[in-house]
Amino acid sequence: MASPAPAKIPVPAQRAELPPEQLYFGPSESMRDVRRKVDCAAGLNVPILVLGESGTGKEVLARYVHEHSPWRNGPFIKLNCAAIPGTLLESELFGYQKGAFTGANAAKPGRIEAAQGGTLFLDEIAELDASLQAKLLHVLQDGVFTRIGDFEEKRIDARVICATNRDLPREIESGRFRADLFYRINVISVQLPPLRERRDDVPKLAEYFRQRFNERFQRDVAPLSETSLRLLREKDWRGNVRELENSIARYVVLGSEDVLLGDKPERAAKPSFAASADGSIPLKHIAQQATRQKEQEVILKVLQANHWNRRKTAEALKISYRALLYKVRQAGLPAKRLRHKSNSPIVIEPSSAPME
């Protein structure tokens, strides 16, 4: 795309207040290398390709680059190429004119046009089909595009950041990704390591998430013990930073360190049933306790799936809202729906930071 030719803006080595996303870098050497690379590239009009497993924080890194670039006063526009069906992706990317196709009752700008003067973040770019790859290459080379159903070319000045968890050289060999597009977007390549390869970052990330969720849910859950931090460092974290974030959210909501590693079968908590003085164990009591424990696990999973919206959770569980409130109190959740100081409802949002 055409460059606005801004002067390079140096990123300060130290700031009085660091934005929260900077905490994602952590103290590990691998993330310090990532930080150095993106700080060098942020002020220049060159495409950046962010590589890494799902949940490593590719979108967070893209937002960091945007906030430390000459385009930071412009919009940050994200398009997840894997989340939109191929038949709709072209119109979402390029926009369309009124009457361009059935249902196009009014003109609509696309994501490329919306990113004017800012940053366009194309997540999961390997999901683009061949025809869209060719059209995107034209935009990147010439800085112009055309809405669907229009003949007028529009010029765009925007920073482009792409991301994928695929092996693009392998995708090129298989014919699923254009080599010329790869070379166009791969001017600066940043590989985000998985969390299991930067275990030194886990304690700092866990403490950041604890503080953030304490504030969001108006809780006062204590810092994690050294034992829990050690166990967190030893975990494989197949879901990477996103999985760690969800684990700390669960800890803050339920207030017990026992839930941190509860998803590992070998560490799953086993119900204990105490026998009476005569050695008998009431079967009815065992059944009630086991049922209650299983209910708590199911409710927690459904709450997470519905982003902690309790009314939607009640509908999904096919129980009344009042019954759900009673059961979440039994599970250790607050008795009332928590609110921000602005009195807006509190919900757990999908990772924004969102982790990619």
Domains and CATH numbers, the chain: 20-193 (3.40.50.300), 197-293 (1.10.8.60)
**Residue 255 buriedness (CB in 10 A; 0-12 / 13-18 / 19+):** middle
Q: What is the largest CA-CA distance in the chain?
A: 89
Residue 166 has pLDDT above 90, yes or no: yes
Percent of the chain clearing pLDDT 90 (strictly above): 47
Tokens of 13: 């080595």
**145 membership: H or E segment, kind and range:** strand 144-145
b/e for 139-148, b at 16 or more Cβ within 10 A?
Answer: bbeebebbbb
**Bridge pairing between strands 76-80 and 119-123:** parallel
What distance, in Å, lies between the first and last C-alpha atoms of the chain?
25
- pLDDT number for residue 351: 40
Residue 16 has pLDDT above 60, yes or no: no
Instruction: Collect contacts of 35-39 with beta carbons under 8 A, ≥24 apart.
Output: 37/188, 37/190, 38/64, 38/65, 38/68, 38/190, 39/11, 39/68
Q: Which of 228, 237, 203, 251 is nearest to 56 (CA)?
A: 237
- pLDDT number for residue 103: 73
Task: List pLDDT tens digits, range 89-107.
Answer: 988 899 888 867 777 778 8
- pLDDT number for residue 135: 92
Task: List pLDDT tens digits, range 247-282.
Answer: 999 999 988 888 886 544 334 444 445 555 555 566
**Cα–Cα dist 94/112, whole Å:** 6
Residue 338 has pLDDT above 50, yes or no: no
**Cα–Cα dist 251/260, whole Å:** 6
Least confident of 190-204, 230-244, 249-263, 290-304: 290-304
Is this prediction's pTM over 0.75? no
- Res. 313 pLDDT band, cuts 50 70 90: confident
Tokens of 128: 């683009």
Residue 257 DSSP label? G
Least confident of 58-62, 149-153, 202-206: 149-153
Q: Are 242 and 304 in contact (CB under 8 A)?
A: no
Average pLDDT, the chain: 80
- pLDDT number for residue 15: 31
Tokens of 323: 């019954």
